[in-house]
Amino acid sequence: MPENSPPQRNLFKAYHHIHAGAVPRLPALLPDVWLHWDPKTIHERGPAAMLGFRMDFLLLLPHGHRVVLEVDGATHYSTGGRPDPAAYAKGARADRELKLARYEVFRFGAAELQDRKTAEPVLRQFVTDLFRQFGVTSS
């Protein structure tokens, strides 16, 4: 995980804190995953598919469901502190590519996760809803 992203660290730590007792039976939260390492993508689109695409986090759920969690800071929508439509468009294009490759993409604003105390309830509710939707249980 990038050293300069407390929100990403807070997401990672909160996931493990919330699910500490069940982690061995739940999907692993994989940080900093490069898309071309996913064998399913390589099989479907070839070894050069989407080189250079990095996911903040990847969850590999039962039945082949792949979930990407992204933490969007200012670089996703601005440059030098000013709004940047090109930066936003780059992220939107990446989302489309991931969705076409059959990933579910969920984005968090970095402000939601800036503080661990506020990040944990946000993540607790999200993961509960996500696992319910995809039928993930800790048993």
Q: Which residue has the tokens 């039945």?
A: 63
pLDDT in tens, 34-50: 765 556 666 676 655 55
Quick: pLDDT tens for 93-132: 888 988 998 999 999 999 999 998 999 999 999 999 999 9
Phi and psi (nearest 5°) for 27?
Answer: -60, 140
Which SS3 state, helix, strand or coil, does residue 106 take?
strand
Q: How many CB atoms lie within 10 A of CB 21?
A: 9
Look at the pTM and tell me if it is higher than 0.85. no
pLDDT tens readout for residues 50-96: 545 678 999 999 999 999 999 988 777 788 889 889 888 888 888 89
Rounded to 10 deg, the angle between the 6-18 and 116-134 helix axes is 60
Query: Which among 120, 38, 103 is positioned nearest to 69, based on CA atoms?
Result: 103
Backbone torsions φ then ψ of 111, nearest 5 degrees: -60, -30
pLDDT at res. 51: 47
